[in-house]
Every structure is written in C-alpha cells, then in structure tokens.
Amino acid sequence: MASEAPAKQKLNINENNITTYVNEVAKRRSQAYFTRADEFSNVKLPRAPAKWEFQSGWYKYETGKPPIKVPFPEEDAIVFDTEVLYKISPYPTLATAVSSKAWYGWVSPYLVGEELNPGTLIPLNPENKDKVIVGHYNHFDRVMVKDEYDDTSFQNSNSCHLDIVGLHYFCNTKIDNKMPNTLDRIRDPLFHKNNSNSLLGKENNKFHMLSKLYFLVTKRQLSKELRNLFGNTRKEEVVENFQTAMSYCAKDVDATHQVFTNFWKKCLQNPHFYKYLSGVKLLGNHKMIVNKSQWDEYNKSNDDKSKKLLENINKRVRGIGRDYGFPNTTLESPEIADLLGIKFLKKYPLKDNKIVRNKGRFNQNITYSIKLDESTLKDYPLVTDKSSPITLNSKDLFLRDYATYRKQYHTDYRDLWINGILTVKPEYQDIIDDYLNFTSWEFNKCHDAFLLSQNSKQNELSTFLPWIIPSVFENSEPTSNSLHELILENFVDIGKGIEDQLVAPKGYEFVSLRIDNDFIESLINKQDNLQNVGPYLIRDGLKSCKVGYLHRALIHIDNLFGKKGIKEYQLMSTFKDRFIILVKETQQQEADELLKQVDNLIKFEFNSIFHNEQNVLIIEDELELKPDTKTISEFDIYKDMKSLASEPRRLY
C-alpha cells in the first residue's frame, strides 16, 4: 500500500495577522541575505593594497600574500564600485571591491590595450550563489555586471544589490501614526530636507553624493578631486595615473562600507526592514529581452519624433517672444517665465512684486525667491521652516540640452510641471504638454542601455537591464524623479509601446498581473472629508499605496513561485499597468493561477487595513501564526488622511 503524502498545512489569515504574515514571508525569503549583510556590517576591512596590478580582469589582494588573478570576488558579501571614462564609453574602465578577507581590483582590457574599444563588463557572481553586493548607487553599477545578462537560463539572480542611498532614506523614515509609509516614493516630497532652500535642483542632488553621505556619518571630508581624471577623452591619462586612479576607487569603496555600517544598524530598528530587503533583492532580478533590430528601430523612430517635437516647441516659443519684442527667445531664456506667465502653486507669479530677482553671472540665470503665505503652508505641510523662502532658478525651469542630459543626467523641474506645481497661462498649456511628451522620452534610460546578445539564432534576441535603483521600491532619490525612473514609465505619446518590444525566447511565455489602479485610488479617494486635506498629502498617499501594492506583489510572487518550484522566471516589466513575468512554457498555466492568488492576498491586506474588513483567507503555508497576532502596517498612516492635514512630516 503506497504511503499517503503528508497533509499540507492550512493557515487562516485574517485582518489581524495578514500584515504579520507578509512580514514573516519577507523574512523567510530574505533571511540568507540579511545574515550576510548583518555580519558584513560588523567586520573590519583589510588594508587596501599599496600597489595594484596593471593587468586585465580581477586580481585578489590578501594581506601578507602576493596578488593572484581570480575570475571574480570570492566572498559572499562585498562592497563594489566602478569608474568609467564616460566621455569615451559607458563601459567600465576599472573597479575595486572589498570583502572581510581581501581586496579586489578589476581593470578593463581596453585600458591595458587588449581591446581597441571598450566592450567588457565585470563578472561578480557568475556561479549565481547567494551574495550581497553593497554600493553607492547600484542602479549605475548593476548594469556593468556581466552575470546580470546571463542567457544560460532565466533562473533568478541570487545577487542582492544594496545601495547606501536607499538605506539612508529607509533608516530615516520612522514608523508611527504621524510618519509616512516606509516604501513611499521618498523622492516626491516637495521640499528638500523640510526647509525650502531649493526645489529639485542640483543642490539637492549633491546631498546624495557619496562625499555628502560620508560626511554625514563620519564628519570627515572625502576628497573627490580625482574624479576629473575620468572626464578625459583619452585613456592615456588614466593609464599614466593608474595607481592613483585605483586607490581613488578603493577609497570610495572603503567610505561606502563605513556609511553602510552606520545606516544598516539604524535600519535594524525598523520593523518593516525585512520587507524592504526582500524588495531590494527582487528588483535586482529585473531585465528586458528584445529583438535587436526592432529595438533599434523603436529607438530611432522615437528619437526622430522627439527631435521634431522639440523643433516645434522652440518655433512656438520664438513666435511668442517676437510678439513681445524678444526675437530670439528659447525655453532657457530668462524671460520665459514672464512670457508664459509661469506661476508657482497657481498662486505666485514668477514676475510678482514679492519676488526678488538676482541676475546670475552664468547663462543669464535668474533666481526667483518666493515667500509662501499661511494658507499655502497649510496645504503643503511638509515645510517646517516658515521663515525660509522657496527658490527657483530660471535655468532649471526647462531641460536645456537633452543631448548633454543623456550623459550628465541633469535635473530640471520636470516633476513640478507634471504635478501642476508650476503652471502657465491656459493658452500656452499645449507647450507644456508637448514639453512633457518630449521629456518623457528623453529622460528614459534606453538610450544608454547595454544591449547584450543572447547568442541565439532566433529573433536576434538581446538583453538589457533597466536603470533602476533597487532600494526603496521605485526610487531612493528623493528630489529628482526623472533621474532614476524604473524604466520608461509614464510615456505620454513618444515612447509608447515599450512593453510591446519584449520578446519571449523559445520555450518561454509571458504571464502578467494587472495592477488595479482603480482599487489603489479607491483606498484614498473614498475616504471622508478629503476636502479638508491638502492636495499634496492626497497625492502622496495615492503614490505610497501604489508603491506598496507593487512591493507586495514582488514579495508574494517570489514566495508562491518558490513554494511551487517555479525557479526559472524573470521579471520584465515597466510597472505601469501590469507585472510582466517570463516563465517556462510548461509552467505558464500554473504561474497564471499563482498570480491570481497574489492579487487576492494584496487586496485582502489592503481591504483589512483601509476598510476594516473582517474576513478569513485560507492558504497553504508552513508558517505558524497566532490567530490574533496584530502587526502595525506601514500603511496605517493613510487610513484617515484628514488626520494628517495639519501634521508636518520630517523625513530627515
């Protein structure tokens, strides 16, 4: 008589323990990475080598031993940084890494003369072991890692990319009844550091530089003078100063570890940290597979549309300028604010008598200084320093040079236009609409993506990695949403159809989970007395709920797919309207059923939080939960938006 299979454990999920269940799932799925990162945060790093090998590939440097050539860093937790001769190529020039045991140095074959042009990426974890990779901005470093493009299978990468910028914002976002959701898009707060010195400008971007974060932690300066070395158009200067260049990179790695250690310990105090870590890990598995010929045509077609649209915008702006006696007006002309009637918060004209104009010495820049009145401060309660004015720069009102932007990722005030913080006269609104259409394409990252062949004779398949920063779900940059968008989300017209470019290799199919945006909006918009809530807080709550929805989907997909033995799947999505996942053709039906369970779990949790629904959901899971285990959700703050209306929020 055949033995019966053991009965699967049934788990009753209710409104009290659903959040606890999500916490425990995230903890189970991310525990291996938590352990490695936690141990790494407590180590004393070895001393960096005094001399680096000028040879291509990786070399390992252990104290008291000669350097040896290795295929990749061997330990399961490292800090990693790259340097790029960005005016020559986006490919890496050199890199350093450090573990608890050894230092590592990588040199591009191009730098040592083995390649005519840069074209080599960096192997970090080709054996796909559980590994923690710490960096400053991992959206930048991850795209240079060769193993992330592996085409042998679509088994998820076991690398967990952690960046200190994301840790910084997570550990400084406190959880109580007056604080925002930990997975909020923290880039959206209107006022930098709760004083209103500037908005979405270069000054704010600088706050997230490694040198700033290092000073924040150590109160010591980190020299960045040698950064200009990598702004050359010839590699010879880096070759001549090779030892200095490698040591410069190594100092950044050491500084990153010091900052990581500090921020990590602060993050441990947050009860939602396992969920954060789980999301970080999963976003590091995001990639796109396309047909190269079709992809090239898609890019060229949209580049042509973008160029023509900009020409048309400039033609209309010149016409407006001529009507008022300014024959050569462009979007970057300082008189543009007067001509278009630009207002801040629909209330403060940038030509009002309250505004102080100071002519800058460069590019005829004008600084507009705006003093908010009490009624505005009530609607926008993020401001805590009432005596400090808002400052806007005319040179940042519009993107000045999109070709330069692609290389320098300059930030303008685009987010203010998108959200109606900046407005123009109604008769000129079409110019702003077209400008946002134009920039929605120009601000994306597909122009610079590495497109690596899948070595497949079928369909010219190639892979590229979206420029994401896997830290907080969408973005850990709090001031410039254009800088690190996941990928091509929110196209107005130019650029539409990005998801249609995705191609499933032979033997694989796509499955998808629709993102129920109507359901997400109902969580906030159906609350009572919203007329007494500031518009920014409503917008903030809506975005936070969407990000939370997406993050929950990641956690549940990883958990349910793992339990059912679906190991070969790949996240391929723009996250605008749906999750798109590549799975084996033979597992397509099962994956579709699991995505329905994911959707049920997410809506069950949100309905429990926002509508106090008292239901029971029975699932199969080996976790043991007490029936009345109540855990505070990070979304509890948004259950009653009107209670937030007069509460300032402090994110730092």
> Where residue 493 falls among pLDDT bands split at 50, 70, 90?
confident
| pLDDT at site 492 | 61
Task: Check residue 218 and give its pLDDT.
Answer: 94
SS3 of residue 490 by DSSP: coil
Mean pLDDT over residues 3-11, rounded? 59
**pLDDT band, very low/low/confident/very high, at 542 (cuts 50, 70, 90):** confident
Main-chain dihedrals φ then ψ at residue 410, nearest 5 degrees: -70, 145
Q: What does the pLDDT read at residue 628?
A: 64
Q: What is the CA radius of gyration of the chain?
A: 26
What pLDDT was estimated at residue 315?
94
pLDDT grade for 464, boundaries at 50, 70 and 90: confident
Contacts (Cβ under 8 Å, ≥6 apart) of 422: 342, 343, 344, 397, 413, 416
Q: What is the pLDDT of residue 478?
A: 26
Which domains does the chain possess?
17-174+198-285 (3.30.420.390), 293-347 (no CATH), 363-406 (no CATH), 429-454+479-611 (no CATH)
Q: What local confidence, expressed as pLDDT, does residue 1 receive? A: 42
pLDDT of 236 reads: 95
- pLDDT band at 457, cuts 50/70/90? low
Q: Three-state SS for 623? A: coil
**Pair of tokens at residue 133:** 């990779």
What is the pLDDT at residue 364?
A: 63
Task: Please give the angle made by the CA atoms of 602, 156 and 622, to the nearest 5 degrees.
Answer: 50
pLDDT tens readout for residues 139-162? 678 888 998 887 656 777 889 989
Q: Give me the helices (H) in 46-163, please.
A: 138-141
pLDDT at 481: 28
Kindly state the average pLDDT of the residues 405-427: 68
Cβ neighbours of residue 480 closer than 8 Å, sequence gap 6 or more:
187, 200, 204, 205, 411, 415
Between residues 166 and 407, the one the model is more confident about: 166
E strands, 400-542, where?
Answer: 422-423, 452-453, 461-464, 508-514
Average pLDDT of the chain, as a whole number: 78
Coil, helix or strand at residue 412: coil
Residues in the chain: 652
Higher confidence at residue 5 or residue 19?
19
Mean pLDDT of the region 68-73? 98
DSSP H/E element including 379: helix 374-379
Least confident of 92-96, 556-560, 611-615: 611-615
pLDDT of residue 374: 75
Spatial distance between the Cα atoms of 131 and 31, rounded to a whole number of angstroms: 12
pLDDT grade for 536, boundaries at 50, 70 and 90: low
Question: Pairing between strand 159-163 and 131-135?
Answer: parallel
pLDDT band at 484 (very low <50, low <70, confident <90, very high): very low
Distance set, CA 650 to CA 118, 182, 198, 377, 504 (Å): 45, 13, 17, 15, 45
More confident residue, 620 or 605: 605
Strand order in the sheet with 288-291: 288-291, 461-464, 452-453
Burial class (CB in 10 A: 0-12, 13-18, 19+), 92: buried
Q: Which two tokens stand for residue 652?
A: 């730092």
* Predicted pLDDT at 252: 96
pLDDT digits (tens, 9 = 90+) for 193-244: 222 233 333 334 455 789 988 998 999 999 888 888 999 889 999 999 999 9
652, pLDDT greater than 70: no
Per-residue pLDDT at 529: 80
pLDDT one-digit tens code per residue, 113-130: 999 999 999 999 999 999
Confidence band (pLDDT; 50, 70, 90) for 171? Answer: confident
**Phi/psi zone of residue 580: left (φ > 0), alpha (ψ -120 to 50 degrees), beta?**
beta
pLDDT band at 15 (very low <50, low <70, confident <90, very high): confident
Q: DSSP 3-state assignment of 510?
A: strand
Task: List the one residue out of 146, 449, 465, 158 whose CA is nearest residue 286.
Answer: 465
The whole-number pLDDT of residue 52 equals: 98
pLDDT at 647: 44
Of 163-172, 349-358, 401-410, the range with the lowest mean pLDDT is 401-410
Q: How far apart are alpha carbons 33 and 278 in whole angstroms?
A: 9
Q: What is the pLDDT of residue 322?
A: 93
Contacts of 291 (CB under 8 A, 6+ apart): 459, 460, 461, 462, 501, 503
Q: Please answer whether residues 268 and 226 qualify as being in contact, where contact means their C-beta atoms are separated by less than 8 angstroms.
A: no
Distance CA 555, CA 466 (A): 20
pLDDT for 151 equals 63
Residue 90 has pLDDT above 70, yes or no: yes
Query: What is the model's pLDDT at position 153?
Result: 66
Q: Which residues contact 430 (CB under 8 A, 6 or more apart)?
A: none
CB atoms under 10 Å from CB of 68, counted, come to 12
Angstrom CA distances, 177 to 20, 180, 639, stand at 18, 8, 10
Which of 298-302, 463-467, 558-562, 637-641 has the highest mean predicted lDDT (pLDDT)?
558-562
CA distance 48 to 55: 18
Average pLDDT for residues 453-467, to the nearest whole number?
66
